[in-house]
Amino acid sequence: MRDEILDLKDYKKIAVMGGTFDPIHYGHLVAAETVRHRLGIEKVLFVPTGRPPHKNNRNVEHDEHRYLMTVLATANNPYFNVSRIEIDRPGMTYTIDTIQSLKKICSDETEIFFITGADAINEIMTWKRVGELLRICNFVAVTRPGYDKDSLLRNMTGVENDYRINITFIEVPALAISSTDIRNRVIAEIPIKYLLPDEVEQYIIKFGLYKTAFENKPFFTFINQKLHTVLTPERFAHTQGVAYEAVNLAKVWGVSAEKAYIAGLLHDCAKDFDDKETLSLCYDYGVELDEIIKRQLYLAHSFLGAAVAEKEYLVTDSEILNAIKYHTTGRAEMSFLEKIIYIADMIEPNRPFYSGIDDIRKAAYEDIDKAVYLALKQTVDFNNGRNRIIHPLSVLAMNYYENHFIASK
């Protein structure tokens, strides 16, 4: 329903459920319905976001799809409506602007509630004009599975004290559903049925949403399905980003796109093991760890990753295996594929912003050795700042690429 048809003046209590809804799922719907019933809300307005400042650089191009999926999902609930207010607004989207616009089409007596998930409330302090926002609407925080409730309550107390307002806290049935995981499942060809309304599932299929950008081959599906079982949803999404970026770089630098895709997918295949599993797998696969790696075990995942890729994902190509092996430390005289994976890891589209990322992104497509040098320097500085020991391979690589890149000038 278009906003102009919806007359909000008639209501005393409305709630806004904001989100990317990419796609909308039962977690969102159950949260909204629970809050509506509990607080006696007359209308819940689902507001698909425009360009959210909190979402990282992910491509949120298909606003219309997100809007239509939200309409389909909410059509059978008389208390639910969808608003285009954010997707029709050009530029960055801030919640404060949305609530203020809504206030103008509501009556003075209308109370506005803002429903937000537990993960979002933690970011609240960073929102634009948060004090004002908290004053003009009532925040309702819903719990989300896997979330540390105590830290949520601590943070909420902090917000309440700072702004002297109340936040209503409502627990909703634990649903471990996230849009990230649904997108990951589509890529890996794993069922999404029963995680979201049938109509939305049909819509996703009809328009081929979220499908992998690269060619569909049984071997790739095998890798993606296996990765989906061992990686967290966020790591899986990062992996897709690296594979995508690596394919683009491969096309520019004359490397096999297929090799780049496989290496990108598998670069972190050993990263979500705990320390015990990491050590026992290193032992099983004969991966030797030097003293520095033993003391900083997070470095082991790339060396172990190469072994896991070979033994469990049946990769035989030594170029791919080396690209996985050296993606964390780097090394002097890397092959093009090694350089591509090293850089793709640092600049893939899901990477949260860090200072220097734009320079590395630019150099990656113009002067790859410069990009490698910048990326190494970024990593070394970051780890120095955390008082970590820099692995000698990285020190050697940085010296090598510094000279190399200066020599090429």
> Is 33 or 317 the residue whose CB approaches ligand ATP more closely?
33
Give least dist CB 267 to ligand ATP, A. 22
d(CA 29, CA 74): 8
Q: Kindly tell me which of 19 and 197 has the beta carbon lying closer to ligand ATP.
A: 19
The answer to whether 13 and 106 have CB atoms below 8 angstroms apart is no
Shortest CB 397 distance to ligand ATP, Å: 35
End-to-end alpha-carbon separation of the chain, Å? 59
Please report, as ranges, the residues that interact with ligand ATP according to CB under 6 A.
19-22, 27-28, 31, 116-117, 119-120, 142, 144, 172, 175, 177-180
The minimum distance between CB 69 and ligand ATP, in angstroms, equals 11
Least distance from ligand ATP to the Cβ atom of residue 297, Å: 28
- CA of 60: how far to CAs of 64, 145, 178, 344, in Å? 10, 25, 16, 20
Give the Cα separation of 172 and 182 in Å (integer).
Answer: 20
Pick the closest to residue 328 from 271, 399, 385 (CA basis): 271
Say whether 408 sits in a helix, a strand or coil: coil
How far apart are CB 37 and ligand ATP at their closest, in Å?
15
Is the CB of 142 or the CB of 231 nearer to ligand ATP? 142
Q: What would the two tokens of residue 38 be? A: 């509990």
Residue among 30 and 390 whose Cβ is closer to ligand ATP: 30
Minimum CB distance to ligand ATP smaller for 58 or for 388: 58
Least gap, CB of 360 to ligand ATP (angstroms):
25
Give the Å distances, CA to CA, from 143 to 150, 174, 387: 11, 8, 36
CB of 92 to ligand ATP, least distance (A): 16
> Phi-psi category of 254—alpha, beta or left, where left has phi over 0 and alpha has psi -120 to 50?
left
CA torsion sign for 286, 291, 296, 302 is: negative
Q: Which is nearer to ligand ATP, 116 or 302 (CB)?
A: 116
Between 150 and 291, name the residue whose CB sits nearer to ligand ATP.
Answer: 150
Question: Which residues fall within 8 angstroms of residue 279, CB to CB, at 6 or more apart?
Answer: 297
CB-based contacts of 165, cutoff 8 Å, min separation 6 = 134, 135, 139, 159
Q: What is the smallest separation between the CB atom of 60 and ligand ATP, expressed in angstroms?
A: 10
Q: Which is nearer to ligand ATP, 117 or 264 (CB)?
A: 117
**CA-CA distance, 12 to 110, in Å (whole number)?**
4
Using Cβ positions, the residue closest to ligand ATP within the complex turns out to be 117
